[in-house]
Each structure stands twice: as structure tokens, then as C-alpha cells.
Amino acid sequence: MTKSLRDDYPHNVINYPSLGADIDTSNNQFMVNQMGIDTIQQIANYETVVKMVERMGLTIEPMPKSNKLHKKITDEVKADTNRRFNIDKFTPIVERVKLPKVKGRNKALYISIVRNTPTLFDVATHHKKAKDSFCMLTYAGLHQPSKKVSSDAMKIISQFLKRKTFKLHSVDIAIDTTDHRSITYKRKESFRDNLMPYSKHGVICKGSSLYINNLDHLEEHPNMSRVIYYDKYLKQLNQQKKEIITNDLRAWKRLEVTLSFDVTRRENRGFIAYIESMGFVDDVYSIDEVAGLAGVKSYDDDYLIYQLNSLIDNRFMNNQESKEQFNSVQSLERFKSSDFRRYLLPI
């Protein structure tokens, strides 16, 4: 944020006023310099998920083999060193549920559903259930300014997130920023120095991305599991050649922090309980600290507030001018001008 969250802790985080007069709120009708949730993962009973999908009139289908998720799951299985009984009978299954999209040539969001992985076997063992009882649900692309996200898709996702029995596995919170310097191996050492103590165990440089993958030493930040700083313009240019993106966004960079949770703990009561807890407040301030160390100082949390309010109460998405596209500039501006907030931090 333009004013450090730490300067005002523990007061009003999520309803913090937008102080960034120097921040562009949009660029080519994209929201820029905003914090938001990009990915959420839950672990749920697979049969319950199937019933919910059918009740919504949706369909579960195989994930195309070209999807990168297949390789990720294969790598997870290969890395598993535990001895498991009858493991050959439980091969990984990757599926998806396509969600409504904004009219036009935009790609639809989908919910990915993964079964029969080591992570899920461990959960099943903990609960003394069959190995194939649980699945991993992933909702990705929730904070992608250059893509059109459907309000109807967000309403469907919110129904899954409200299930208390669906345990929260991880949340990726992303901050978009402007940085005119390239991200290369030449910035690796300075990034490590600046991000101490988070970077105590080192920084990995891959392409135009800097990774901190080992954060186990941070007792004060137990949920934080990964930090990435990468060139968002280059990534979107490769993925969306037909839809994007002018030279005005060449300096677009993104800081992304992954928060991970133990799904076997009794305290894990799902996504809604987490965002209404003081633990979420602490995590937001931890992310702000990481952003400050990384040199990301000017950003707003308006989109994050809008997301959280909308996922709790879908009526925030329903308006005449922008009810089809959830993440339009008009939707965000209308939300910011509203006096009513369903979601308030428990402070």
C-alpha cells in the first residue's frame, strides 16, 4: 500500500482507505497495482463434490492431457518416499469443472479436481478413510486483470468455499506492481539480501522469476510457504497473445505469496472461517512486510476487499453495468463507492 500497513497495525486493514493518489487504478481497462487472491485450494470429500456439481447443473470432465497440472501431479507422486499399501490400484486422476464465462472469446475459468495423490492419501489415513475418499479442489485465476472473470463463475466458487467441511489447503495472494527493471539472475543476490530473513535458505532464479521456496524457519509466519517475484507482462504475453497487452504494461511485475495450512488440524474450519480470523490479519501484514522488503510499496487492497465481500455475499456482484464481468474496472469502482460492507475484519 502507499502507506505501510505496519504503520497502522492492528487497526483497519481490509477497510483501509485508498491513499494512493499516484496509483493508476486501471490501464487499458485493466486493474493495476492491486492486491488480490489469485488461487485457493481445498481438500474435500469427493462424493460431496460430485453431488454439488450435479446439483448446479455442471459436469465433471477429464482434464486435457496438455494441462501442466498433469506433470505437477506426476512429479509429486515420484517424490513420495512413503510405503503405501496397494498403491498401484490408485493412480492419479485429474478432472475439471468448466465454469460460466463472459461472452466473447475469453477462456472460461474452471475448478480442477485431483484425486489419488500422496497428499490426499495422508489425509485419508488421518481420518481412517479409503485412499480415494478425498480430492483437491483448485480455483485459479481469480486475480488476473487482463482476463475477464465471470460473476456467475465466482458465485459457483463461493458455494464451495462456504462449505465448512472443505478444509483450506492453500491461498495465493498476489500484488501487482510497476518495476521497470528486468528480473534476471543478476537480481538474485540483491533480492536475497533485501528479503532477509525470509530468504535465509536461498533464492532460486528461473527465467524471469525469483523464488523463495523454503520458509520453514519462520516461526512468526507459520502459514507462509513460498514467495515468488516475476515478470507478469512476459508471462501474460506468452499466454494471451491475442488478448493483450500494450507496451504500456511492459513494467508489470507481480509478487505472489503462498499461504499453506494443515488440513488435519481441528482449527482448520475452511476458507470463510480463516478470512474472518485474526490469523488472516496477521498473514496480510506479513505479506505487506515481504512486499516492502521486495520494493513493492505502492498498491491498494480494494480488489481484495471486493473479492472477500463478494465470496461471502454474492449480492455484491449483482449490478446492472457489470454483473457479467466480476473483475471489471467498473465493478471495482462501484464497490469502492458503496457505503455497505458485509465483510469486516474481526478487530
CB neighbourhood size of 11 (10 A):
11
Whether the CB-CB separation of 6 and 288 falls below 8 Å is answered with yes
What was the pLDDT predicted at 322? 57
Phi, psi of 283 (to 5 degrees): -65, -40
Coil, helix or strand for 121? helix
Write down the H helix ranges in 28-98. Answer: 46-55, 69-79
Residue that the C-alpha cell 491475442 belongs to? 242
- Residue 218 pLDDT > 80: no
Q: Where are the domains of the chain?
A: 5-337
Give the C-alpha separation, 272 to 286, whole Å: 20
What was the pLDDT predicted at 323? 65
- Residue 276 pLDDT > 60: yes
What was the pLDDT predicted at 12? 34
Give the C-alpha separation, 186 to 182, whole Å: 9
**pLDDT-derived band at 243, boundaries 50, 70, 90:** low
In the predicted model, what is the mean pLDDT of residues 43-66? Answer: 96
- Residue 290 pLDDT > 80: yes
For the stretch 292-327, pLDDT in tens is 999 997 898 889 999 999 999 887 776 655 567 888
**Residues contacting residue 17 through CB under 8 Å, at least 6 positions apart:** none
Looking at this protein, which amino acid is placed at residue 322? S
CB neighbourhood size of 275 (10 A):
25
What was the pLDDT predicted at 236? 81
With a pLDDT cut of 70, the percent of the chain lying above it is 84
Phi, psi of 317 (to 5 degrees): -90, -20
- Residue 143 pLDDT > 90: yes
Whether the CB-CB separation of 198 and 213 falls below 8 Å is answered with no
**pTM score, whole prediction:** 0.88
Whether the CB-CB separation of 42 and 167 falls below 8 Å is answered with yes
Query: Could you tell me which residues are beta bridge partners of residue 26?
Result: 31
For the ranges 53-67, 69-83, 84-98, 244-258, the one whose mean pLDDT is highest: 53-67
**Residues contacting residue 234 through CB under 8 Å, at least 6 positions apart:** 208
Best CA proximity match to 327, nearest among 202, 174, 197: 174
Whether the CB-CB separation of 231 and 151 falls below 8 Å is answered with no
Whether the CB-CB separation of 231 and 183 falls below 8 Å is answered with yes
